[in-house]
Structure 1
Amino acid sequence: MNDQYEALYTTFRWWVPQRFNLAEVCCRRWTHTSSDARRIAVYAEDPQGQREVWTFARLQEYANRLSNGLRRTGVQRGDRVAIALPQRPEALVAHLAVYQMGAIAVPLSAGLDAAVFEQRLRDSEARIALVDAAGADALLRAVDRCPLLRQSIGIDLDDERVLPWRSLIARQESAFDMQPTAASDPALLLYTPGTGGAPKGILLPHAALIGNLPGFVSAQDWFPQRTDILWTAFDWAGAQGLFGAVLPCLYFGQPLVASRQPHTAAETLALLERYQVSNAALAPADLRALLQAAEGGGHELALRALAVTGAPLGAGLFERCVRTLDVIPNETYGQAEVGIVAGQSRDKWPARPGSMGRPYPGHQVVVADPSGRVLPAGAVGEILVNRYDLTGHPDPAFFLGYWRGEEAGRPSGGIWHRTGDLAHADEDGYLWFAGRAEDAIVIDGHRFAPEAIEDCLLQLPELADAAVVAVTGAEGRPMVKAFVVRAGEAGTGEEDLLPAAVADHARRHLPPGQAPAAIEFVARLPRTADGRLRRHVLRQQEEERAARQPVG
């Protein structure tokens, strides 16, 4: 194919208007003409399978009513509003209503427990929380310990502690004068998933959407095309769901599929087929399950582009996706602090299985040593992202800062953001992931990433999930331990030959010293709400287990 990367990257220029509001560009502007107002914004399904269609006109009317209602409860410009809603149209209404008020949305996964809800509501000093049945039990247990929270608004809830959504919306005017905002004004307060410890709040401006568009468009094979319909497996409360799917899709005026129910892989295939979804964004674990269900054939899918993020895709899963779905997946890399900054784009430059891809246009991404010195090709170092592009223009995806004023680790006068992720670049600028710095395994002076071992183990169809950490073995020496989940089983049984088969597969396919010295079958692995492995939990469990062992 014709490699267009160099021309796209070197000629790209940002254009960021001084005035910019997410609600305006993602919805309100699509209501200026009657034809655009009738555009379908969302195809929605509830857990009972009931379906409905929302146009941009309907989204905007409900957003206006909610903005008026929030204003009556005392919400002002700059106030934080928590949105603990799953994939449903009302979640989009809530975001739009908050943005057009000049307030700050605090998206929270409906799957969080009460302690996490409390921590984030208290830390953000949220004034209002919107919730439905998916998160009500946990969130409402936390409310009494959040004195700054004025009101909880409940959707389809019969609870005296909440103000019913329908009652609030019905009493409000359908027109609202949007508050003008600068592109640099804060719009979102996102919390890190806490894969390595306590989560931090990340404050993002309205312009962050502009900063994420090059990566989104590239990963979705030059979205939009006229008939594009998008679905994501990611929770809409995280950066992957919001900036990797939802907000860009609405920005381009294309339909989004929303489904609240947790899907089996077979149900996901049916959903993709039912709506003839052309574009999807999902994690490698979701893709692995989808491929297992699709390998029997018999599905009429319309997929033309797949963006895969949240963890390394791996060469094995890449090639399996091409064989099964006839789609080359585009792996992407990013963080909430800096947006989608690197990845593949199969239509514009050659994909390399197992690679994270190249820096997307508009973003400066390098591999550097601890002092910030850029490393030569092949050398492993930390991924750093610059606050400015090649021309010196500020990268609009860059975060405003950590909530509470916590400092990011930035060498070189504060223009570089340290990601904490390791990689090396090849001679053509493709990045190859080498793990999280905190998760890196060092044995006998050799450093390697757990992801490569996990990818190898998951080539076995008998395994559904895997996590690898370094633990302390006999005589205090470090060793590799794998925690694995059987495919199709909830139990942890080890009575058959599978443990030996896993160990043998690892010895045959991994370099010396990387094959797990211990393998433990578990029912599930600790993951964040957006599916990221929490390896520090496994390491902590092993340390506690070792401490309980008798000495001598």
Structure 2
Amino acid sequence: MATSQGRDTSGTSTLPPGYAALHSSFRWQVPQHFNMAQACSRRWAEAPGATKRIVICAYSTSAESIFYSYSQLQEQANRLSHVLAARGVQRGDRVGIVLPQRFETAVAYMAVMQMGAVAMPLSMLFGPEALEFRLQDSEAVVAICDAGSLPALAGVRHTCPQLRAVVGVGLAGADAALLSGPLDAAWEAALRASPDTFEPVNTLAEEPAVLIYTSGTTGNPKGALIPHRALIGNLSGFVASQNWFGFDGKTNQRSNAVFWSPADWAWTGGLMDALLPTLYFGRPIVAYHGRFSPQTALELMRDCGVTHTFLFPTALKAMMKAYPGAGGAKGKTVRQQFKLKLDAIMSAGEAVGDAVFGYCEKQLGVKPNEMFGQTEMNYIVGNCNLRYPSKPGSMGMGYPGHRVAVIDEAGNECPVGVPGDVALNRLDVHGQPDPIFFLGYWKNPKATDAKFTGDWCRTGDLAVRDADGYLWYQGRSDDVFKAAGYRIGPGEIENCLVKHPAVINAAVVPKPDAERGALVKAYVVIAPDFVAACAGNSSATAQFHAQLTVELQAHVKGQLAPYEYPKEIEFVDALPMTTTGKVQRRVLRLQEEARYAATRA
């Protein structure tokens, strides 16, 4: 990592001067006592103008948006804290929050955390089985939900004996009838009957604030216990990836910064990369509970004056295909067409790739800042085009305060160009503890220990470091494979495929092969305009697929190494995705293995 001399610790690369200066001068300032709710809500509610300072803009495509102030946020949080305390919630207890992007969701987080309790985000997309596991494993005592999540929650209450109460938000009469038991409450009535002041718990920065369960791609999901101090650890990456968000007047950033992301507030990307850091800086965030579409996203950003956003690569790819922008010197860009005010775009979850990078720069008017992190230690690597140049397709470098390296199996730093595991050291570049780390996996010390090699915390994601210090994503360790003796990273091939106008998304996995071990296979989603050309005609569709297969293979051969082109292409309507916008290559890989086993039976 960077030193005051501007070179990494291995002495093999020279880092950009601006980047080196940021690292050499940056130091963490973590107080002994710190509470996320105090930092994100109460301090703004107690500041002058709190009744006029907007915190949430609830956006609707069919009606006027509703605006809520920081004063309202804190008042409602105080009332909810009393409601929860009356139902036995104490310091350290887990409270499930099963809500979409809405004002009440922000209220719930603030109310739980200012009590010293632990907020447990739960996705609205979870079915009964997923909810049951997390509620049981966490031993949650209360759950807060709305009508959309109530049926699934009601179905598992009898198997969650420690769940003493359910608080329902915005429930109609029929929905409210599903609630049972003397400890249950309807949000609106319960809050009206509660005091609007509350004495917060003076938590230690080291105390747990949030329990977020990982996606569980292998085995049961693990609960990552996040301390209050982790928000401080997040801030350097958030500020940098959003081109110095929160420091108005010191850059070209507007004073009326507005944030929005389609990322669910129940996930790390929505909670720690969007909601909480935006509130930390006292800015407004847009809440929209609806299905993502390129048109809705662009209209929302136009109508709400969004200046900063976090958009998954899959969302940007969809926008790129739906709104490519006009060509020629006089043609309008997408930014001009929708009158966008974007100052920064952060993207994470998958590699951005140079095709999407170019689209953002030319059509949206902003170079995207790619970011990389995990639930356990979020916002650790990325770009900041305002302070140091990004390289299209690169993950970037460690954000200020974080000592990041690419390491081998023994925990040694890999030379330039050699793939290894992206890892974060417990200590920063000055030898001080990095506040971003999670406390450990809930009730799973063995898994916590396995995450570390000495002081290095492994991410399980592979990358190579170039001579300038930039990291280049190679895929999850279980996504990279060998075909005919060659090491294949799917990201580069997928990025190449998406550059073709007929491809809206792609995933590359190994197809088992008796002779070569594996073949490169691509699953491809065709752009709607190309699908429409042969819709309803099976013969024409088959012929089109055959022609497109040859064309795509030649397309990859012309840009990448000969061994990287997909030997087989399967066209699908959609790729399996996680709720956080990542392609589930593992699902496709297991599918290929099952097909191969069936042919050998």
The two structures have a TM-score, normalised by structure 1, of 0.95
- Gapped runs of 5+ residues in structure 1? none
Give the distance between the partners of 2:374 and 2:324, measured in 1 at CA: 32
- Residues 147-199 of structure 1, C-alpha deviations (whole Å, 9 max, x = no match): 22112222222232333211221211111110110000000001112344532
In structure 1, distance between residues paired with 2:97 and 2:45: 24
Instruction: Please identify, of 41-50 and 359-368, the stretch whose mean Cα deviation from structure 2 is larger.
Output: 41-50
Query: Of 505, 517, 524, which aligns to 2:574?
Result: 524
- Tell me the residue number matched to 2:594: 544
Cα distance change of structure 1 residues 259 and 410 upon mapping to structure 2, 3 Å threshold? closer
Asked if the contact 1:47–1:261 (Cα under 8 Å) also holds between the matched residues in 2, the reply is no
CA contact (8 A) 1:111 1:134 kept: no
Asked whether the 8 Å contact 2:263–2:580 carries over to 1, the reply is yes
- For 1:356 and 1:185, how far apart are their aligned partners in 2? 31
Greater displacement, 486-495 / 84-93: 486-495
Structure 2 residue corresponding to 1:342, chosen from 371, 374, 381 = 381
Give, in angstroms, the shift of residue 499 of structure 1.
3.4
Q: Give how far 1:542 is off.
A: 2.0
Indicate which of 284, 292, 300 corresponds to 2:321: 292
Aligned partner of 1:321 among 360, 363, 366: 360
Measure the CA separation in 1 of the matches of 2:488 and 2:110: 44
Deviates more, 1:499-508 or 1:58-67: 499-508
Q: For residues 263-314 of structure 1, give each alpha carbon's deviation from its aligned partner in whole angstroms, at most 9, with x where no partner exists.
A: 3111110000001100001110111122333434421000010011111111
Look up the match of 1:238: 267
* SS of alignment partner, residue 509 of structure 1: coil
Match of 2:512? 472
Task: Report which stretch shifted further, 194-203 or 252-261.
Answer: 194-203
- Once the two structures are TM-superposed, the CA of residue 51 in structure 1 deviates from its matched residue by 2.1
Q: Which aligned pairs between 1:305-454 and structure 2 lie closer than 5 A?
A: 305-406=344-445, 407-408=447-448, 409-413=450-454, 415-454=455-494
Partner residue of 1:220? 242
Give the Cα separation in 1 of the matches to 2:562 and 2:279.
49
Q: CA deviation at 1:453?
A: 1.1
The more displaced of 311-320 and 135-144 is: 135-144
One-letter identity of the residue aligned with 1:160: A
SS of the aligned residue for 2:50 comes to: helix
Residue 176 of structure 2 is aligned with which of 136, 156, 159? 159
Cα 1:329–1:389 change in 2 (3 A) is same
Q: Secondary structure at the match of 2:39?
A: helix
Q: SS at the partner of 1:419?
A: strand
Given that 1:16 and 1:396 are in contact with CA atoms closer than 8 Å, whether structure 2 keeps it comes out as: yes
In structure 2, the residue matched to 1:145 is: 159
Check the 8 A contact 2:320/2:356 in 1, yes or no. Answer: no
Distance in 1, Cα, partners of 2:571 & 2:17: 44
Stretch of structure 1 that moved more, 147-156 or 81-90 = 147-156
Deviation at 1:444, TM superposition (A): 2.7
Contact map agreement 1:278 1:305 (CA 8 A) in 2? yes
The answer as to 2:214 corresponding to 1:192 is: yes
Contact 2:321 2:527 in 1 (8 A): no
**Match of residue 250, structure 1, among 272, 279, 285:** 279
> Could you tell me which residue of structure 2 aligns to residue 301 of structure 1?
340
1:484 to 502, 524, 533: 524
Return the offset for 1:441: 1.4
Does 2:555 correspond to 1:505? yes
Deviation at 1:438, TM superposition (A): 0.9
1:79 corresponds to: 93
Are the aligned partners of 2:41 and 2:280 in contact in 1 as well (CA < 8 Å)? yes
3-state DSSP class of the match of 1:337?
A: coil
CA distance in 1, matches of 2:109, 2:443: 22
* 2:480–2:487 Cα contact (<8 Å) kept: yes
Q: 1:47, 1:260 within 8 Å by CA — same for their partners in 2? A: no
CA contact (8 A) 1:196 1:438 kept: no
Partner SS state of residue 27, structure 1: helix
Separation of aligned partners in 2, 1:376 and 1:66: 53
**1:275 matched to 2:304:** yes
- 1:112-148 CA-partner distances (Å, limit 9, x unpaired): 2221111111111111111123323333323332222
Where does residue 124 of structure 1 map in the other structure? 138
Secondary structure at the aligned position of 2:338 is classed as coil
Deviation readout 1:353-376 (Å, 9 max, x if unpaired): 111111111001011110001111
- Matched to 1:191, the amino acid is Y
Query: 1:44 and 2:66 equivalent?
Result: no
More off after superposition, 154-163 vs 249-258: 154-163
- Whichever residue aligns with residue 514 of structure 1, its letter is E
C-alpha separation in 2, matches of 1:452 and 1:49: 43
Moved more, 416-425 or 514-523: 514-523
SS of 1:340 mapped into structure 2 = coil
RMSD value over aligned CA atoms? 1.9
The residue type equivalent to 1:505 in the other structure is: H
Change (3 A) 1:323 1:104: same
Aligned partner of 1:266 in structure 2 is 295
Question: How far off its partner does 1:411 sit?
Answer: 5.0
Q: How far apart, CA to CA, are the structure 2 residues paired with 1:440 and 1:385? A: 21
1:88-130: CA deviation from partner (whole Å, max 9, x where unpaired): 1110000000000100001011112221111111111111111
Paired AA for residue 30 in structure 2: V
Q: Distance in 1 between matches of 2:228 and 2:148?
A: 28
C-alpha spacing 1:543/1:261, structure 2 compared with 1 (3 Å):
same
Q: Is the 8 A contact 2:33 2:204 kept in 1?
A: yes
SS of aligned partner of 1:189: strand
CA deviation vs aligned residue, 1:363-406 (integer Å, no higher than 9, x gap): 01011110001111111111110111012211111010011133
- Determine the C-alpha separation between the residues in 1 that align with 2:142 and 2:263: 24
Counterparts of 2:517 and 2:278, CA distance in 1: 50
Deviates more, 1:40-49 or 1:508-517: 40-49
The match for 2:30 is 16
Counterpart-to-counterpart distance in 1, 2:517 and 2:136: 42
CA deviation after TM superposition for structure 1 residue 474, in Å = 4.9
Change (3 A) 1:530 1:412: closer
8 Å CA contact 1:276, 1:302 repeated in 2: yes
Q: Within 2, Cα distance between the matches of 1:109 and 1:448?
A: 33
> Residues of 2 paired with 1:84 and 1:394: CA distance?
33
Q: C-alpha separation between the residues in 2 aligned to 1:277 and 1:340?
A: 22
Q: Give TM-score scaled by structure 2 length.
A: 0.88
The one-letter amino acid of 2:34's match is: F
Q: Which amino acid aligns with 2:574?
A: R
Change (3 A) 1:3 1:461: farther
